[in-house]
Structure 1
Amino acid sequence: MSLVIVVAALAFLMFAAYRGYSVILFAPLAALGAVLLTDPSAVAPVFTGIFMEKLVGFLKLYFPVFLLGAVFGKVIELSGYSRAIVAAAIRYIGSSHANAVIVAVCALLTYGGVSLFVVVFAVYPFAAELYRQSNIPKRLMPGAIALGAFSFTMDSLPGTPQIQNIIPTTFFNTTSWAAPVLGIIGAAFIICVGLSYLEWRRRDAVKRGEGYGASLIFESEPVHTTSLPNPLLAIAPLLLVGVSNFALTRLIPMWYGTQSSAALPGMAKPVTIPTASVVAIWAVEGALLLGIAFVLLTAFGTVRERFSEGTKTAVSGALLASLNTASEYGFGGVIAVLPGFLVVSDFLKSVPDPLINAAVSVSSLAGITGSASGGMSIALAAMGDTFIHGAQTAGIPLDVLHRVVSMASGGMDTLPHNGAVITLLAVTGLTHRESYRDIFAVTIIKTLAVFFVIAVFYTTGLI
Structure 2
Amino acid sequence: MIGMIGLILSLSLIIILAYKGYSTIITAPLVALLTVLIIGGESSTHLMVHYTEIYMGGFSNFVKNYFPIFLTGAIFAKLMEEVMYAKSIANFITNNLGKDKTILAVVLAGALLTYGGVSLFTVAFVLYPIANVLFKESNIPKRLIPGTIALGAFTFTMTALPGTPEIQNVIPMRYFGTDTFSAPLIGIVASLLMLTLGMTWLTYRVKKAELNLEGYGNHFIENSNIDSKDPPNIFVALAPILIIFTSNLFFSKVFYKLIDGSYLNKYNLTLDNVSGTWSVIISIVIAISFIILLNFKKISNLNNVINGGISNSFLPLLSSSAIVGYGSVIKSLPVFITLQSIILHISSNPIVSEALSVNIICGITASASGGLTITLDSLAHTFIAMSNTLNISPQIMHRIASLASGGLDTLPHNGAVITTLAICGLTHKDSYKDIFITSVLIPIFVTTIIVIVTSIYYT
Q: Do these two structures clear the TM 0.5 threshold for a shared fold by scoring above it?
A: yes
The CA deviation string for residues 1-25 of structure 1, in whole angstroms up to 9 with x for no partner, is 3444444433333333333222122
How far did residue 257 of structure 1 move?
2.4
Are the equivalent residues in 2 in contact too, given 1:50–1:334 (CA < 8 A)? yes
SS at match of 1:49: helix
Contact conserved, 1:333 with 1:381, CA < 8 A, in 2? no
Q: Which amino acid aligns with 1:114?
A: V
Identity rate, percent: 37
**Aligned counterpart, 2:450:** 453
What's the CA shift string for 1:51-87, capped at 9, x where partnerless? 2222222111100000000000000000011111111
Once residues 325 and 286 of structure 2 are traced to their aligned partners in structure 1, the CA distance between those partners, rounded to angstroms, is 32
For the 8 Å contact 1:332–1:382, the answer to whether it is kept is no
Show the 5 A alignment for 1:399-438: 399-438=395-434
| TM-score normalized by the length of structure 1 | 0.92
Q: Is the 8 A contact 2:264 2:271 kept in 1?
A: no
5+ residue gaps, structure 2, are none
Paired amino acid for 1:403: R
- Partners of 2:14 and 2:27 within 8 A in 1: yes
1:247 aligned partner: 250
Offset, 1:217: 4.6
Match of 1:227 among 225, 230, 246: 230
| 1:295-314 aligned within 5 A | 295-305=291-301, 307-314=302-309
Aligned mate of 1:391, from 387, 392, 395 = 387
- Residues 363 and 409 of structure 1 are in contact (CA less than 8 Å); yes or no, is this contact kept in structure 2? yes
1:145 aligns with 2:142: no
Paired AA for residue 278 in structure 2 = W
Residue of 355, 360, 364 corresponding to 1:359 = 355
What secondary structure, in the 3-state scheme, does the structure 2 residue paired with 1:457 have?
helix
1:359 Cα deviation after fit: 1.5
1:349 pairs with 319, 331, 344, which one?
344
For residues 405 and 128 of structure 1, the distance between their equivalents in structure 2, rounded to whole angstroms, comes to: 34
**Residue 271 of structure 1: CA displacement?**
5.5
| Alignment match, 1:29 | 30
Whole-Å separation in 1 of the counterparts to 2:231 and 2:209: 33
Q: CA–CA distance in 2 between the matches of 1:98 and 1:46?
A: 50
Deviation (angstroms), 1:405: 1.3
Shift in Å, 1:120: 0.8
Per-residue CA distance 1:68-121 (angstroms, 9 max, x = gap): 000000000000111111111122222220011001100000001111111111
Pairwise CA distance, 1:32: 2.7
**1:172-206 Cα distance to aligned partner (Å, 9 max, x none):** 22211111110111001001111111111111111
**Segment of structure 1 superposing worse, 165-174 or 145-154:** 165-174
Alignment partner of 1:278: what SS? helix
Secondary structure at the aligned position of 2:55 is classed as helix
The TM-score, its normalising length taken from structure 2, stands at: 0.93
Name which of structure 1's ranges 31-40 and 403-412 shifts more when overlaid on structure 2: 31-40
Aligned-partner residue type, residue 240 of structure 1: I
Q: Determine if the alignment matches structure 1 residue 257 to structure 2 residue 253.
A: no
Q: 2:456 & 2:269 partners in 1: Cα distance?
A: 38
Change in CA separation of 1:115 and 1:260 when aligned onto 2, cut-off 3 Å: farther
The counterpart of 1:185, out of the listed 189, 195, 219, is 189
Is 1:374 equivalent to 2:370 in the alignment? yes
| Alpha-carbon offset, residue 371 of structure 1 | 1.4
2:316 alignment counterpart = 321
Q: Distance in 1 between matches of 2:402 and 2:264?
A: 30
Greater shift, 250-259 or 437-446, is seen at: 250-259
The answer to whether 1:159 aligns with 2:159 is: no
- Supply the AA of the counterpart residue of 2:441: I
Does residue 123 of structure 2 align to residue 119 of structure 1? Answer: yes
Structure 1 CA distance for aligned equivalents of residues 384 and 90 of structure 2: 41
Residue 281 of structure 2 is aligned to residue 278 of structure 1: no
Q: Deviations over 1:293-348 (max 9, x none)?
A: 1111112233233x333332321221121121122222222222211211111111
Q: Which runs of 5+ in 1 are unaligned?
A: 263-269
Letter in 1 for 2:312: G
Where do 1:56-95 residues align within 5 Å? 56-95=60-99
Deviation of the 1:396 alpha carbon: 2.0
169, 174, 177: which is aligned to 1:173? Answer: 177
Does the Cα contact within 8 Å between 1:17 and 1:369 map onto a contact in 2? no
SS at match of 2:299: helix
What's the offset of the Cα at 1:388?
2.5
Q: Measure, in 1, the Cα distance between the counterparts of 2:399 and 2:14.
A: 27
- Check 1:18–1:388 CA distance in 2 against 1; reply closer, same or farther (3 A cut): farther
Letter of the aligned partner of 1:327 in structure 2?
A
Asked if the contact 2:355/2:451 (under 8 Å) is kept, the reply is: no
Distance in 1, Cα, partners of 2:253 & 2:158: 22
Show the counterpart of 1:265.
none
Give the distance between the partners of 1:12 and 1:348, measured in 2 at CA.
23
Cα distance in 1, alignment partners of residues 138 and 199 from structure 2: 17
Contact 2:162 2:187 in 1 (8 A): yes
Pairwise CA distance, 1:147: 0.3
Which residue is 1:44 aligned to?
48
Amino acid at match of 1:178: S
What amino acid maps onto 2:345 in structure 1?
S
1:255 is displaced (CA, Å) by: 5.3
| Deviation of 1:144 (Å) | 1.0
Contact 2:85 2:232 in 1 (8 A): yes
Q: Which amino acid aligns with 2:452?
A: A
Which of 126, 133, 148 is equivalent to 1:129?
Answer: 133
Moved more, 233-242 or 399-408: 399-408
Equivalent residues of 2:351, 2:455 under 8 A apart: no
CA RMSD of aligned residues (A): 2.1
Report how many residues are paired: 453
Q: Which deviates more, 17-26 or 178-187?
A: 17-26
Aligned position for 1:15: 16
The 2-side partners of 1:447 and 1:260 are apart by: 41
Answer with 52-61 or 111-120: which moved more. Answer: 52-61
Q: What CA distance in whole angstroms lies between the structure 2 residues aligned with 1:391 and 1:13?
A: 34
